[in-house]
Structure 1
Amino acid sequence: MNTIRPDHEVIIIGAGPGGICAGAQLTTRGIEDFLILDRGDGFGGSWRDNHYPGLGVDVPGFCYQYSFRKNPDWSWMFPKGDEVLAYHREVAAEFELGARARFGVCVVREVWDERNGWWEVHTDGHGVITGRFVISAIGAYIHAKDDPGIDGLGDFRGEILRPDSWDHDYDLSGKRVAVIGTGASSVQISPSIAPVVQQLSVFQRTPVWCLPKPDMAMRPWMRRGLRIRGVGTSIAFATNVVVETVLRVVYQTPKALFRPGARAFDAVGRGVYRAYLRAIVKDKRTRTELAPSYGVLGKRPTLSNDYVPNFNRDNVELVTSAITTLTPHGIRTADGVERDVDAIVLATGYELFSDPESYHHGAVVGRGGFDLADFYNTQRLQAYQSVSVPGLPNRWMLVGPYSWIGTGWHELVEISSGHAVNVIDHARREGHQIAEVSQTAHERYHRKVREQGRTSRTTSAR
C-alpha cells in the first residue's frame, strides 16, 4: 500500500456519452474523487463537436438513452442532433458532473508510474495530472481526418467545410458545392443543403447501402405512452433481442451452413435494393452507380428517406470518377473533367477506434514500457471484455475492440463503464491499489472471440 496519493483517484478522459455514463456510475457508487478531462468546451462529445446540417441519430430514441435516465420526450422517433446534445448535458447536470470536469484540456499521453502505482496523464499546456485509475472514454471517433489524402488540398481557394467544424456563418445559398464521401455524415448533409445550393456534386468512391428510415414526429399520445412504466424499456428490450439474434446467427452459425445462406441473403438483398433504386431514382446510370456490389452486412448501412431521392433533383449529380487533384477553383477527376466549386464538404471520415493505425506510438505506455500502439499495430486489436489489456494496470477503455453490440450506444458504454466501475469499487473496498487483467484470462477471451467470429471473417474475406 502506497501512502502517497495521486491528484485524483479516477481520471476519466472524455466528456461524451461514455464519460458522462462513467461519471454517473462512479457518483452512484459513492466514488467522488474523480476528474473528467475533455479537449472541448463542454459535455457532449461527438454531439458537441458535430453540428452540421441534417445531423441526427440513426437508431430510435428509445434505444438511444441511458437505462438510468429515460427520456420519453424526444421530438422525433430518430432524434435530431441539438436535442441529443441537450439530453446529454441535462444528464451531466443532474449528476453534478460539471464540478468534477475540466474542459479545454487535451490529453496527449498516458504513462504508468510503476513506483507509485498510478497513471501520469500528460496534457497539452496543463501539466501532468495523476490518477490511480484511468477510464478512457474518448469514444469511437478519435480525430477527424485533417488530410483525406487528396492531392492539392492546400491549393483550393474556396471554403472547406467539415462535419466536426461546420462554419454556420458561411452562406451556402446559390453556391456550387462538392461533397466528398458517401458515409453517414454525407447521407445527412447532402439532402439538407441541396435545396439551397446552386449545384451539388456528390463524389462517391464506394456506394453505400441507404435504407428507408422509419422516422416520424413523436405525437403527444406516443410520448404519454412512453411515460408508462416499462413501456419504453420493453420496446428497447425487444429491439435489442432482434439485433442480438441477427448477430448471433452471423457469428455462431457453422460455416458449412452460413456460407450458402449468406450468399443467398446477399443476392436477394442486392436484388431488393436495386428494385428500390429503380422505384426511386429516375436516371438509369445514377441508380446503377448507387447500387453496392457487396452485401448489406459488409459495411454498416445508413438510414435516410432523403439521400436517394436527392439525386432526382436537377441541381444534384453523382460523380464516381476518381478524384485526381484539387485545383484552386475546383476538383479534377480521372476522366479529365474539372468542376469549379465554391465550397467543398470533406465528409471523409475519422480516425476510428477500430483502426490500429489510430493508436499512436507513445500515447499510452504501461507496465515495463508496454506500448498500446505498438501492440495493436503488430498484434491487431484485442482486449479482455473489450475494455482492458494486460500491461495496462488500472486502465479501461469504454469503446474497445469488438465492443459494438449493434444497438444504441448507451447500452454499450453502460456495460463497459459498469465493468470498470465494478473493478474500481471492489479494489477500493478490498484495499487493493492495482487491478490488472491476467495474460491467461486475456488470451482465453481473445481465442473465444476469434472462434466465434470465424464465420463472419471468412464471409467478409470472400
Structure 2
Amino acid sequence: MTPQFDAIIVGAGFGGMGAAIALRELGYERLSILDREDDLGGTWHVNHYPGLAVDIASVTYSYSFAPNPHWSRLFAPGAELKKYAEHIADTYDLRRSMRFGVSVQRADWDDREHHWTVTTDAGETLTGRFLVTATGFLSQPHTPDFPGIDTFAGTIIHTTRWDDAHDFTGERAAIIGTGATAVQLIPEIAARATALTVFQRTPIWVVPKIDFAIPPVVQRLFARVPRTQRAARSVNNAILEGIMVVGVLHFRQAKIVNKIAAAAARAHLRVSVRKRATRKALTPHYDFGCKRPTFSNKYFRTFNRPNTRLQTSSIERFESDAVITADGTRTPIDTLVLATGFNLWDTNFPALQIIGREGRDLGAWWREHRFQAYEGITIPRFPNLLSLNSPYSYSGLSYFTTIESQMAHMRRLLGELSRRGAATFEVTDDANSAFLDDVTEKLGDSVFYGGQCSTSRSYYFNQHGEAALLRPTSTSNSLHAASTFPVSDYQFS
C-alpha cells in the first residue's frame, strides 16, 4: 500500500521546518507537518511571557542559510523569533503542509508495508514512508505536585501558558524557579507587583549580557552585504565555542576557561547585589556548566528592590492564600507563577509512543538500555525514523547548529537511499554501539563527570545519572560528521 505521505513530521518549530526544507530539497513533496499548538514556531509560539528573549546572540540563533538582517537587538526579543519562524514558513512554502491542533499520540512501524502509521488523539490515522519527530527538547512542562496546591484560591500561571491579560500591579506575587525563563521574567514581575517572593531551589550561573540595539545602518549593511553578517556570526560562534564547548565539554583539558567564566559570573553577582547574605544564597555550589547558564543584566539587581524577597527554604505546603515553607515562613500571595521547567527524561524522550520493529517501544527501550541514538538522529529497530530531539544530538553552540547538522545527515542518508533504490534505512547495532561508546568516552572529559555537579539538579542528567543530552564534540566536528558518516553504518532494503 502506498502511504499517504512521503514523511510525517511531528512538530512545526524550527526543527520540523528545517527537516521539511531538507526533504523538499531531496524531492519529497508529500509532507504532513503536525503540531498540537494552534500555530507554528514551537517554543517561540508557546512562550510569550514578559521579558522573553533569546539567550544566544541572534546572528547565531538562526539558520545560517537564511540569515535575518533585521534583528532589532543583539539578543532579539521572543516576538522577533516568532516572526522569523513565520518568515521561514512563508519563504519555503511550508504552511501548505502544516496542520495545527493535532496531537500525535502514537506511531507504529508496519514492517510488511514499510511505512509508519501515526495515530492522533482524535483517533485519526495517517501513513508516511518516513517519520520525523521534531517535538523539541523542552516541550513537556513540569508542574510539581506541591501539597495543597489544589486548594490555592489565587491565580496560577505556568510560563508556557502565559496569560497576556494578567496584570501584576498591586499584587503579591510569587514565582517558583530560578532557571533561564525565571531570570528573564523575575525583573518584569518585580517592576509591577507590590511584593514578589522568589522561591529558589538551585541558584543559576548568570553572566553579564552584552546586549544593545542594532543600528538601522548595520541592518542595512547586513541586508546589502550578507558576508558582513556571516562574519559577525563567525565571531560570535567562536566566543560561544570557547565558553560553552571548550569550557564545559573539555573541562579536564581546559579548566581555566571554565574557571574564568565562573569568575566572571561571581564578579557580576558581587557588583550587582548589595546584601551579602543574598549574594551567598544566589551563588551556585556547583561548577559552571553543570546546569545551563544564562545571561542577564537585570536579574541580580532585582533582589536589591525593597519589594523583592529571595526564599531558599523548601516549600512545605500551600494554603488558600499563602505558601508555607519548611522554616515556618508564611508568605501570603495573590498570584503564583510556575517557572518550573520541563520534564525531559520521563516524558520528552520521546514525546509520543513510538513502536518499531519487533514491537520495540522506544521510550521503554531507552529507559531500560540507556538513552542512545546514532549521531543523535537514528536508532536500531526503528527503520525510516529520524528523531531530531534525541540523546547526544544537541550541539552546545546553538539549537540551529543541531538542526543544520541533522539536515546534513538527512541529505546524505536519504540521498544514499535514493541512489540504491531502497525502501528503508536502519542504523546497524554495531554502528550505534560504537557511537555510544565514543560519546561516553568523550564525555569523561566534560564538567559533567570531571567537575562538581552533584548539587546542580540539572536537566542535562537523566534518571541514571548520565549526561546524555549534549554531543561532546566541537560544532565543526558535528557538522563534518553529518556529511561524512560511513553509509555502511546503515542497512538499506
TM-based fold match above 0.5? yes
Partner of 2:176: 180
Q: 309, 326, 330: which one pairs with 2:301?
A: 309
Matches within 5 A, 1:52-91: 52-91=49-88
- Give 5+ residue unaligned stretches, structure 1: none
Distance in 1 between residues matched to 2:52 and 2:351, nearest whole Å = 33
Q: Equivalent residue of 1:382, what SS?
A: coil
Going from structure 1 to structure 2, the CA distance change for 1:340 and 1:265 (only over 3 Å counts) comes to same
Partner of 1:231: 228
Partner of 1:415: 405
Going from structure 1 to structure 2, the CA distance change for 1:461 and 1:110 (only over 3 Å counts) comes to farther
CA contact (8 A) 1:212 1:303 kept: yes
Partner of 1:159: 155
Query: What is the one-letter code of the residue matched to 1:452?
Result: K
CA contact (8 A) 1:356 1:381 kept: no
Distance in 1 between residues matched to 2:347 and 2:32, nearest whole Å = 28
Q: 344, 364, 374: which one pairs with 1:374?
A: 364
Q: 92, 96, 101: which one pairs with 1:99?
A: 96
Q: Does 1:383 align with 2:373?
A: yes
Partner of 2:456: none
Deviation at 1:27, TM superposition (A): 2.1
CA contact (8 A) 1:15 1:38 kept: yes
Deviation at 1:241, TM superposition (A): 3.6
Query: What is the one-letter code of the residue matched to 2:369?
Result: Q
Distance in 2 between residues matched to 1:56 and 1:268, nearest whole Å = 25
Deviation at 1:429, TM superposition (A): 4.2
Partner of 2:418: 428
- Percent identity over the alignment? 36
- More divergent stretch after superposition (358-367 vs 340-349): 358-367
Deviation at 1:170, TM superposition (A): 2.0
Q: Equivalent residue of 2:445, what SS?
A: helix
Query: What is the one-letter code of the residue matched to 1:23?
Result: A
Q: 306, 310, 324: which one pairs with 1:318?
A: 310
Q: Equivalent residue of 1:86, what SS?
A: helix
Cα displacement string for residues 8-67 of structure 1 (whole angstroms, at most 9, x for unaligned residues):
111111000001111122223332111101101111001101111111100111101112
CA contact (8 A) 1:361 1:371 kept: no
Going from structure 1 to structure 2, the CA distance change for 1:169 and 1:249 (only over 3 Å counts) comes to closer
Deviation at 1:265, TM superposition (A): 6.2
Deviation at 1:249, TM superposition (A): 6.4
Distance in 2 between residues matched to 1:405 and 1:281, nearest whole Å = 33
CA contact (8 A) 2:247 2:257 kept: no
Q: Does 1:458 align with 2:449?
A: yes
Partner of 1:448: 438
Cα displacement string for residues 160-209 of structure 1 (whole angstroms, at most 9, x for unaligned residues):
01111111222211111001000011001110121111101110011111
Deviation at 1:114, TM superposition (A): 1.2
Q: Equivalent residue of 1:42, what SS?
A: coil
Going from structure 1 to structure 2, the CA distance change for 1:118 and 1:152 (only over 3 Å counts) comes to same
CA contact (8 A) 2:171 2:334 kept: yes
Partner of 1:47: 44
Distance in 1 between residues matched to 2:262 and 2:207, nearest whole Å = 12
Going from structure 1 to structure 2, the CA distance change for 1:346 and 1:88 (only over 3 Å counts) comes to same
Q: Does 1:439 align with 2:435?
A: no
Partner of 1:363: 353
Q: Equivalent residue of 2:75, what SS?
A: coil
Cα displacement string for residues 299-321 of structure 1 (whole angstroms, at most 9, x for unaligned residues):
11111111000111111111111
Partner of 1:136: 133
Going from structure 1 to structure 2, the CA distance change for 1:361 and 1:11 (only over 3 Å counts) comes to closer
Partner of 1:276: 268
* TM-score normalised per structure 1: 0.92
Query: What is the one-letter code of the residue matched to 1:51?
Result: H
- More divergent stretch after superposition (220-229 vs 77-86): 220-229
Cα displacement string for residues 72-114 of structure 1 (whole angstroms, at most 9, x for unaligned residues):
1001110001111011011101111111111111000111111
Deviation at 1:449, TM superposition (A): 0.8
Matches within 5 A, 1:205-354: 205-227=201-223, 228-245=225-242, 247-248=245-246, 251=249, 258=253, 262=255, 270=262, 272-352=264-344
Distance in 2 between residues matched to 1:65 and 1:35, nearest whole Å = 23
Q: 396, 420, 438: which one pairs with 1:406?
A: 396
Deviation at 1:461, TM superposition (A): 5.8
Query: What is the one-letter code of the residue matched to 1:202?
Result: V
Query: What is the one-letter code of the residue matched to 2:371?
Result: L
Deviation at 1:410, TM superposition (A): 1.5
Deviation at 1:361, TM superposition (A): 10
Q: CA RMSD in A?
A: 2.0
Deviation at 1:252, TM superposition (A): 5.3
Query: What is the one-letter code of the residue matched to 1:296?
Result: F
- Give 5+ residue unaligned stretches, structure 2: 454-493
Matches within 5 A, 1:391-402: 391-402=381-392
Distance in 2 between residues matched to 1:274 and 1:26, nearest whole Å = 46
Matches within 5 A, 1:121-132: 121-132=118-129
Going from structure 1 to structure 2, the CA distance change for 1:362 and 1:60 (only over 3 Å counts) comes to closer
* TM-score normalised per structure 2: 0.87
Distance in 2 between residues matched to 1:162 and 1:72, nearest whole Å = 33
Going from structure 1 to structure 2, the CA distance change for 1:411 and 1:360 (only over 3 Å counts) comes to closer
